[in-house]
Structure 1
């Protein structure tokens, strides 16, 4: 299979709530769909350091601290608010309460960008989401939907993994099952 020459579109955004074990490794629940994807952007986090010698940059290094990002969607699902942001839903009244001491959960964030050959699927493993702001506008001659935007930080896991993505050589089993569970490679013992 050939590689994509271009990337466009955003769809199939999913999230999986993570829990941390005693060793700091993340274990993930079954991914849930986050519908209404409008845009997603990732900006690298990390510093570049330069060492000068012999009147030039003698050595340069950079640190990969993951990404800062935003995800814009049509609406924030109620399940995401309660499972990830820690808002409380009173079942009897149907009223949602945001509290100052809510404990937000770490998640894996999964998504895909279309390409001219095949969509590329991604997963960010250690994502912390900030609660969104709220805004709205009056209706005029036409109705324009408003969106919700989440800011997040995707840092490295305890193993140093930040992100993985499919390629043109990804096996069909892995590609087709991408959203069934968070992809984690199986370790093959060396002989």
Structure 2
């Protein structure tokens, strides 16, 4: 059974990436998970539109579409696993990571954790595509200003329609959350 509900949310940690190895019409097959350390910030903005229907000179009916999320992840520095397994960069025989115009990025699931006043909550986005990172750095002055990598991403529904799931500390699936992508049978919902 899950713990007490949080009143507030803060913190970001434990970002894990599950590259998608195979995409079929009815399912996704995920590859080996890797950790993406150094999470600084994460933002998720809902993606979708309002679809008003007018009758009797007013909005008679309105619904919002759920197209997933548009987001940005700021990380201390992207690791080699993300560059090669997600962005499609290659590592040459000399150890250089090479970005090529013909590289094909891979979709992935992304899991992460927020803290709260009562419990930690783990989240997973089932099907994510990411942009190349925005890199920044500055000259060193009296104080060192740390540069970070920022990636923009889209999280869209998987073939079953799932976009995101979350589990609270104390729930049955919390402890094994980062071993494989959390799924549930629709009959359990």
Structure 2-normalised TM-score? 0.93
Q: Deviations over 1:142-186 (max 9, x none)?
A: 112100001100011111110001147732xx1000111110114
Relative distance call for 1:168 and 1:136 in structure 2 (3 A) is closer
Identify which of 40, 56, 59 aligns with 1:57.
59
Question: Structure 2: how far apart are the matches of 1:5 and 1:76?
Answer: 32
Aligned to 1:122: 123
Deviation at 1:52, TM superposition (A): 1.5
Give the secondary-structure state (helix, strand or coil) at the position aligned to 1:50: strand
Give the secondary-structure state (helix, strand or coil) at the position aligned to 2:82: helix
1:179 aligns with 2:178: yes
Aligned to 1:101: 102
Deviation at 1:101, TM superposition (A): 0.7
Question: Structure 1: how far apart are the matches of 2:14 and 2:53?
Answer: 43
Identify which of 13, 16, 27 aligns with 2:15.
13
Contact kept, 8 Å, 2:168 with 2:174, in 1: the verdict is no
Matched ranges for 1:82-97 at <5 A: 82-90=84-92, 92-97=93-98
Deviation at 1:54, TM superposition (A): 2.0
1:34 aligns with 2:33: no
Aligned residue pair count: 186
Give the secondary-structure state (helix, strand or coil) at the position aligned to 2:141: coil
Deviation at 1:187, TM superposition (A): 6.0
Give the secondary-structure state (helix, strand or coil) at the position aligned to 1:176: coil
Q: Deviations over 1:77-124 (max 9, x none)?
A: 01110111011111x311111000101000001001101111111000
Question: Structure 1: how far apart are the matches of 2:187 and 2:159?
Answer: 20
Question: Structure 2: how far apart are the matches of 1:30 and 1:185?
Answer: 19
